[in-house]
Amino acid sequence: MKKQTAKERIRNFKEVALGLSAEEALKEASRCLFCKKAKCSANCPVEIDIPRFINAIKNRRFDEAIRIIKEKNNLPGVCGRVCPQENQCEDACILNAKKAPINIGGLERFVADYELQHILRVEGIGHEALGHKVAIIGSGPAGLTCAGDLARMGYKVTVFEALHTAGGVLVYGIPEFRLPKEIVKKEVKYLEFLGIEVKTNFIVGKTSSLKDIFEQGYKAVFIGTGAGLPSFMNVPGENLNRVYSSNELLTRVNLMKAYLFPEYDTPINIGKKVAVIGGGNTAMDSARVSVRLGAEKVYIVYRRTENEMPARKEERENAKEEGVEFRMLTLPTGIIGDEKGFVKSMECVKMELGEPDDSGRRRPVIVKDSEFIMDVDTVIVAIGQNPNPVFLKATPELALNKWSKIITDPRTQATNIKGVYAGGDATEGDDTVIAAMGAGKRAAKAISVYLKNEK
């Protein structure tokens, strides 16, 4: 897929990958073998009929292709851009063994963009009015998917969202240059067309409680409150000026448009030499945002090696092309401030890989007498997120595990409270968009069974 050149894109926040043209999509679709027992579909967490939609593209029936995708996935423009296809459908593609797998993500994005440009309206499947009201807490991919599936079945669905815009991490976390907010907005509009109602600026646990929601006549609830609470390193100096959580940095930039300050109200103050701590997608996004905000040197500081990094390969490559330097096997041990309380440098130690730990990855261990100082003036901590605590604190009857994740039955996403279901990062910890969507789908099915039995 064509991209903006690194030189061009580091000066703007526009989308990096430019998408496939119709001719490129037709050519790619014609490579597909249309396998009878398609491994690609079996490896798709929302079970899209991949060979059928690729065949529709091959025959230039783009509107049919999007209809096939939307039987299972209400957010194809999002998934075509940010799903880790290389570990899922494309990894399983039969052509992967011999040559390049089919670019399934690129084709999904192509038809999703085609639909958005041509304003096709793919109707819901059921639309039989079933009467019951269902409340969804949180409008990230888990909540939106659960809401969309229930609306298609004919339920009356209201999504309560704490922020002023729907989308969760899709709007406040993932930057514009990877996922334009206009795409998220249009896909949310499509869900509204299916019948869901979104109430923004509504914090369940503060504006209303779970009990209030049931008293308002909602018969079932899905909790998709995500993992919005950042982890910190707990090292000295972490409270200095110009130490940010990736959450704060990305929310200011993506949701509040800090890169357009003063046209938009929210400023961001980063220096010239930025260290981003972590090795996931959030770390790559924070580093690439820092480059675009004008930092001269941006480092990814990670305690393992690149082989163990959870970030997508494509995003690691994009970051390197944009000049981000990778400092592997490095662990920060403290942040040093100047007399005004701003970051002046960062103390680190070198690491080496030891025996595998519980995750199966080799455990990083400190190399003796390897202390050194990194010359940086900004530190962004991107080492993971924990479940958003606001709703959980206000709902003590909800069973949580020792990491404060909501305990659910993995087949139905049911919690310990009757009629209450949960999924996405609130139950799994920071995971992926498609895993959150898969949980939303399972919950929608289970909620429908529950409501029919209740009736």
Q: Which residues bind ligand SF4 (CB under 6 A)?
A: 32-35, 38-40, 50-51, 54, 93-95, 102, 104
Shortest spacing between CB 174 and ligand FAD, in angstroms:
5
Q: Which does 162 bind (CB under 5 to 8 A by kind): ligand SF4, ligand FAD, none?
A: ligand FAD
User: Is the alpha carbon torsion for 151, 157, 159, 165 positive or negative?
Assistant: positive
Sole binder of ligand FAD in the list 85, 158, 208, 225 (CB under 6 A):
225
**DSSP assignment letter at 406:** B
Shortest spacing between CB 315 and ligand FAD, in angstroms:
7
Residues 128-147 touching ligand FAD, rule: CB under 6 A, are: 137-143
Sole binder of ligand FAD in the list 224, 271, 278, 332 (CB under 6 A):
224
Q: Which does 51 bind (CB under 5 to 8 A by kind): ligand SF4, ligand FAD, none?
A: ligand SF4
User: Is the alpha carbon torsion for 313, 66, 179, 47 positive or negative?
Assistant: negative
Which two tokens mark 436? Answer: 């959150």
Helix axes 181-194, 104-118, angle to 10 degrees: 70
Is residue 176 helix, strand or coil? coil
Shortest spacing between CB 41 and ligand SF4, in angstroms:
7
Shortest spacing between CB 175 and ligand FAD, in angstroms:
8
Q: Are strands 156-160 and 197-199 parallel, antiparallel or unpaired?
A: parallel
Closest alpha carbon to 153 in 122, 130, 121: 130
Q: Which does 298 bind (CB under 5 to 8 A by kind): ligand SF4, ligand FAD, none?
A: none
User: Is the alpha carbon torsion for 210, 216, 220, 221 positive or negative?
Assistant: negative
Residues 102-121 touching ligand FAD, rule: CB under 6 A, are: none
- The CA-CA-CA angle for residues 209, 215, 218, to 5°, reads 90
Shortest spacing between CB 72 and ligand FAD, in angstroms:
16
Sole binder of ligand FAD in the list 173, 271, 332, 384 (CB under 6 A):
173
DSSP states along 221-244: EEE-----EE-----TTTTSBTEE
Asked if 82 is part of the footprint of ligand FAD (rule: CB under 6 A), the reply reads yes
Q: How many residues form the binding site for ligand FAD (CB under 6 A)? A: 41
Q: Residue 362 belongs to what H/E stretch? A: strand 362-366
As a whole number of angstroms, the distance between CA 107 and CA 88 comes to 15
Shortest spacing between CB 116 and ligand SF4, in angstroms:
23
Do residues 80 and 88 make contact, with C-beta atoms less than 8 angstroms apart?
no
Q: Which does 28 bind (CB under 5 to 8 A by kind): ligand FAD, ligand SF4, none?
A: none
Sole binder of ligand FAD in the list 73, 88, 251, 388 (CB under 6 A):
388
For 219, list phi and psi in degrees, rounded to 5.
-100, -20
Residues 262-291 touching ligand FAD, rule: CB under 6 A, are: 281-282, 285
Is residue 380 helix, strand or coil? strand
As a whole number of angstroms, the distance between CA 197 and CA 133 comes to 11
Sole binder of ligand FAD in the list 13, 62, 114, 160 (CB under 6 A):
160
> In the complex with ligand SF4, which residue's Cβ is closer, 38 or 295?
38
Which two tokens mark 153? Answer: 């079945």
As a whole number of angstroms, the distance between CA 434 and CA 281 comes to 14
Shortest spacing between CB 108 and ligand SF4, in angstroms:
11
Shortest spacing between CB 243 and ligand FAD, in angstroms:
18
Closest alpha carbon to 285 in 262, 258, 253: 253
> In the complex with ligand FAD, which residue's Cβ is closer, 45 or 271?
45
Q: Which does 148 bind (CB under 5 to 8 A by kind): ligand SF4, ligand FAD, none?
A: none
Do residues 291 and 324 make contact, with C-beta atoms less than 8 angstroms apart?
yes
Is residue 149 helix, strand or coil? helix
Q: Which does 32 bind (CB under 5 to 8 A by kind): ligand FAD, ligand SF4, none?
A: ligand SF4
Shortest spacing between CB 64 and ligand SF4, in angstroms:
17
C-beta atoms surrounding 109 within 10 Å: 25
Shortest spacing between CB 374 and ligand FAD, in angstroms:
23
Footprint of ligand FAD (CB under 6 A): 82-84, 137-143, 160-163, 168-169, 173-174, 203-205, 224-226, 228, 250, 281-282, 285, 388, 390-391, 424-426, 430-434, 436
